[in-house]
């Protein structure tokens, strides 16, 4: 459907996007996820044709789009600022793309009415954009794009200016609308929760480079780079020195099949479990997250471990505890070198059997 | 009048003082224009009438300059708009070498006493046979409108978020269409404000008409100046009221394009 090949953008000395390559299937929703300034918006704007690419190719349905101007591409974009024209009514905003195409008035009126119904804004046609709430304005912006029936819908952090509750609602609506209409969509966000909830697949970007592409669960469980692991979800992190395939993590021996050197070990808070063996420490703080408790444990070495536990465990601050990790990820030079899920009943020592996943 | 009840006393006082200061002199002139006899200590004229209007309107030396002034000002302002507004857009949106210098040069030209500037232009115009011609005066007046016609619209264009234009371009409109359907209407209040400012400025401009136009081209302000030396107050008053008419007409016209709120916004309110 949409193929992006080695797309590159250079601003002065810096590569804003370098060699971005990915494909989007028909009806698929892809999220471009990354911290601000990682190049995700630039990548989206290149696909829209609003920013010229310095290298690479964009093809939609096999047709090369790279040299085409934005107004000749079958894409439509929803902007972060909604970018509605306040000198036009809602209906005039939505009908703009159709009027430009020179369609008959009756056809335009029908399509505009249908688009407004689709986004749940019946009866808003005569309003001015200044009379709309933030959420309504973004719905109009979406209707304005949907009405031209783009092959690819592009969304540049469309909900980031809205409050959390409204954002969650709009996200759900967008997802069901996207499924129903089989809209091929690229959604840019810096909010990993938003990406996890919306995306069929997530493209994680950092410093202009695509770090990893995969379904949300895959990125969470098997991050391939340190950047992805750190960006998505929470991690306990420690740097250890690997010597002869062995290392020491807070007094616990760990074995990893990798060349000697510095290795970063990561463990998710929910993969920590209390037991008779494991890293000794004292509970420093308990934060009630509602469904779960987040517990900070201070170890004898002076490190702090985060442990996510269920409410009925009822940990008390000051109490002594031993924590073991049931799943560790190992990274060398920012790349994944090992990681293995081990049975929850087994003690940490058995991590010695950990195999190398990607050498 | 609910706002009066809520407004603080100081505010009402200030407003009244300002109203007297601004409207007072205008009102006096208007009253003078319709007064046939008005002597101290009467608060209002003792004889009202249109006598001096007939006198003034009967003179070719008055009617012709009015027509000339309106024609000159309208042509000069409109031409300036045609040239300056796209230039203002370029200054606001495009990055080209010498942009800052160019933009600043418009202020620099205003810093030089206009009279000196016009003298040097007059020297050139003498060679080109433009002295005493309609288009010679139009050209010079356009120059004096440049600053207002470029700086105000450029600021307005800069204030339009690029995403507004990109959204239109993205939905299939050509660059020209985006400019006409989106950029221009968004900037309209400021453009109208710059038009009014330039129009009024040109209408009351004396130097250029005096140096470049005289004696063939005589404008209203020139007539006003020469009538100032005459003692008949009513004649000057009638002239003053007459010269306001085109100004009001322009203001009313621009009002047709937008609300008064829009114009105020254009002026920075």
Total domains in the fold of chain B: 2
Do residues B32 and B76 both lie within one domain? no
**pLDDT value, residue A79:** 94
Asked if residue B17 and residue B108 are part of one domain, the reply reads no
User: A interface toward B at CB cutoff 8 Å?
Assistant: 48-50, 69-72, 75-77, 79-81, 83, 85, 87, 96-97, 100-101, 141, 144-145, 148
Closest CA to B219 of B196, B246, B193: B246
CATH H superfamily, domain A2-227: P-loop containing nucleotide triphosphate hydrolases (3.40.50.300)
Kindly list the distances between the CA atom of residue B71 and the CA atoms of B64, B243, B251, in Å, as whole numbers in the listed order: 11, 13, 17
pLDDT band at B219 (very low <50, low <70, confident <90, very high): confident
Q: What is the mean pLDDT of residues B132-150?
A: 86
Q: For the residues B241-256, what does the mean pLDDT come to?
A: 79
Other C-beta atoms within 10 Å of B206: how many? Answer: 15
A275 close to A342: Cβ distance less than 8 angstroms = no
Provide the residue range defining the domain that includes B31.
1-49
In this model, does residue B265 exceed pLDDT 70?
no
B261: number of Cβ within 10 Å: 10
Flag whether pLDDT at A351 surpasses 60: no
Q: Which CATH number fits domain A234-353: 2.40.50.140, 3.40.50.300, 3.30.590.20, 3.40.50.150?
A: 2.40.50.140
**CATH code for the domain of B146:** 1.10.3720.10
- On whether both B100 and B125 belong to a single domain, the answer is yes
Chain mean pLDDT for chain A: 87
User: Same domain, yes or no, for B197 and B71?
Assistant: yes
Q: Which residues, at least 6 apart from A146, have a Cβ–Cβ distance to it below 8 Å?
A: A76, A115, A118, A119, A153, A181, A183
* pLDDT on residue B15: 86
Within 13 Å of residue B232, how many CA atoms lie on the same side as its CB? 18
For residue range B55-92, what is the model confidence (pLDDT) as tens digits? 888 887 788 888 888 899 999 999 999 999 988 998 88
Q: Region A11-36: what's the mean pLDDT? A: 92
Look at residues B186, B187, B181, B183 and name the one whose alpha carbon lies nearest to residue A100: B181
Percent composition of chain A: helix, strand, coil (DSSP 3-state, to 5) = 30, 40, 35
Whether residue B215 sits in one domain with residue B137: yes
Name chain B contacts of A96, Cβ cutoff 8 Å.
168, 171, 173, 181
Query: In this predicted model, which residue has the larger pLDDT, A83 or A255?
Result: A83
pLDDT digits (tens, 9 = 90+) for A171-182: 999 999 999 999
Q: Is A39 helix (H, G, I), strand (E, B) or coil?
A: coil
Contacts with B170 from chain A: Cβ below 8 Å:
48-50, 70-71, 75-77
Asked whether residue B70 falls in the same domain as residue B10, the answer is no
All CATH 3.40.50.300 domain ranges of chain A, comma separated, are 2-227
Average pLDDT (A123-134) is 91
Question: Is the pLDDT assigned to residue A339 strictly greater than 70?
Answer: no
Instruction: Out of B167, B174, B185, name the one closest to residue A79 (CB).
Output: B167
Q: What does the pLDDT average to over A115-142? A: 92
Shared domain for B40 and B62, answered yes or no, is: no
What's the per-residue H, E or C state across B79-119?
HHHHHHHHHHHHHHHCCCCCHHHHHHHHHHHHHCCHHHHHH
Determine the distance in angstroms separating the CA of B84 from the nearest CA of chain A, rounded to an integer: 23
- Do B253 and B149 lie in one domain? The reply is yes
CB contact under 8 A, B168 and A76: no
Residue of B nearest to A70 (CA): B170
The strand ranges marked E within chain B are 35-37, 47-48
Fill in the DSSP letter of residue B233.
Answer: H
Q: Do B186 and A70 touch (CB under 8 A)?
A: no
Same domain, B17 and B65: no
Taken in order B28, B199, B154, B260, is the CA torsion positive or negative?
positive
Q: Does B73 share its domain with B162?
A: yes
B112 & B4 share domain: no
With CB atoms and an 8 Å threshold, state whether B170 touches A144: no
Q: A344-348, B111-115, B245-249 — which is least confidently predicted? A: A344-348
The predicted-structure confidence for A66-115, as pLDDT tens digits, reads as follows 999 999 999 999 999 989 998 999 999 999 999 999 999 999 999 999 99
Query: Which range among A126-135, A169-178, A200-209, B133-142 shows the weakest confidence by mean pLDDT?
Result: B133-142
A70: nearest CB among B163, B170, B186: B170
Q: Where in chain A is the domain with CATH 2.40.50.140?
A: 234-353
If asked whether residues B114 and B69 sit together in one domain, one would say yes
Does the structure show a pLDDT above 80 at A27?
yes
Count of A–B CB contacts within 8 Å?
Answer: 59
């Amino acid at each position: 459907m949409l193929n992006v090949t080695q797309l590159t953008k250079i601003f002065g000395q810096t590569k804003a996007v370098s060699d971005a390559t990915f494909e989007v299937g028909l009806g698929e929703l892809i999220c471009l996820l990354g911290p601000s300034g990682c190049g995700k918006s630039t990548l989206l704007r290149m696909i829209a044709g609003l920013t010229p690419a310095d290298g690479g190719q964009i093809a939609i349905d096999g047709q090369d789009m790279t040299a085409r101007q934005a107004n000749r591409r079958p894409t439509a974009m929803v902007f972060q600022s909604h970018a509605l024209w306040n000198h036009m009514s809602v209906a005039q905003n939505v009908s703009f793309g159709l009027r430009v195409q020179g369609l008959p008035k009756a056809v335009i009126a029908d399509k505009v009415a249908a688009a407004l119904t689709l986004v749940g804004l019946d009866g808003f046609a005569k309003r001015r954009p200044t009379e709309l709430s933030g959420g309504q304005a973004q719905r109009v912006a979406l209707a304005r794009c949907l009405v031209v029936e783009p092959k690819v819908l592009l969304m540049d952090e469309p909900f980031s200016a809205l409050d959390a509750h409204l954002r969650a609602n709009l996200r759900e609506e967008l997802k069901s609308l996207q499924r129903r209409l089989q809209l091929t969509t690229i959604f840019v966000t810096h909010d990993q929760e938003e990406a996890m909830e919306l995306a069929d697949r997530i493209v994680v970007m950092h410093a202009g480079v695509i770090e990893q592409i995969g379904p949300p669960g895959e990125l969470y469980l098997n991050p391939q780079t340190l950047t992805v692991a750190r960006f998505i979800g929470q991690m306990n992190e420690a740097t250890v020195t690997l010597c002869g395939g062995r290392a020491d993590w807070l007094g616990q021996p760990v074995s990893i099949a990798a060349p000697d050197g510095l290795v970063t070990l990561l463990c998710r808070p929910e993969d920590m479990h209390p037991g008779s063996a494991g890293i000794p420490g004292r509970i420093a703080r308990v934060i009630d997250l509602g469904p779960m408790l987040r517990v900070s444990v201070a170890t004898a070495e002076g490190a702090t471990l985060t442990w996510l536990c269920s409410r009925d465990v009822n940990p008390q601050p000051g109490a002594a505890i031993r924590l073991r990790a049931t799943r560790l990820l190992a990274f060398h030079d920012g790349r994944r070198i090992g990681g293995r899920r081990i049975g929850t009943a087994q003690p940490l020592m058995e991590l010695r059997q950990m195999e190398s996943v990607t050498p | 009048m609910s706002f009066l009840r809520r407004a603080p006393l100081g505010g009402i006082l200030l407003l009244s003082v300002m109203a007297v200061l601004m409207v007072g002199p205008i009102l006096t002139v208007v009253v003078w224009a319709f007064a046939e006899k008005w002597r101290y200590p009467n608060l209002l004229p003792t004889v009202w009438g249109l006598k001096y209007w007939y006198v003034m309107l009967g003179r070719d030396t008055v009617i012709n300059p009015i027509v000339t002034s309106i024609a000159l000002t309208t042509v000069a302002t409109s031409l300036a708009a045609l040239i300056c507004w796209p230039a203002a857009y370029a200054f606001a949106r495009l990055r080209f070498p010498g942009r800052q210098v160019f933009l600043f040069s418009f202020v620099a030209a205003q810093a030089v006493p206009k009279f000196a500037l016009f003298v040097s232009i007059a020297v050139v115009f003498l060679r080109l046979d433009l002295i005493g011609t309609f288009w010679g005066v139009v050209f010079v007046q356009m120059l004096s409108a440049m600053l207002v016609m470029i700086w105000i619209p450029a600021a307005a264009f800069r204030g339009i978020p690029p995403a507004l234009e990109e959204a239109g371009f993205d939905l299939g409109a050509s660059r020209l269409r985006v400019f006409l359907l989106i950029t221009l209407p968004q900037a309209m209040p400021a453009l109208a404000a710059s038009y009014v400012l330039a129009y009024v400025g040109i209408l009351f401009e004396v130097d250029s008409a005096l140096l470049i136009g005289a004696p063939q081209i005589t404008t209203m302000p020139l007539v006003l100046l020469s009538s100032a030396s005459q003692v008949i107050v009513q004649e000057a008053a009638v002239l003053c009221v007459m010269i306001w008419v085109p100004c009001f007409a322009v203001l009313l016209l621009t009002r047709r394009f937008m609300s008064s709120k829009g114009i105020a916004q254009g002026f920075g309110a």
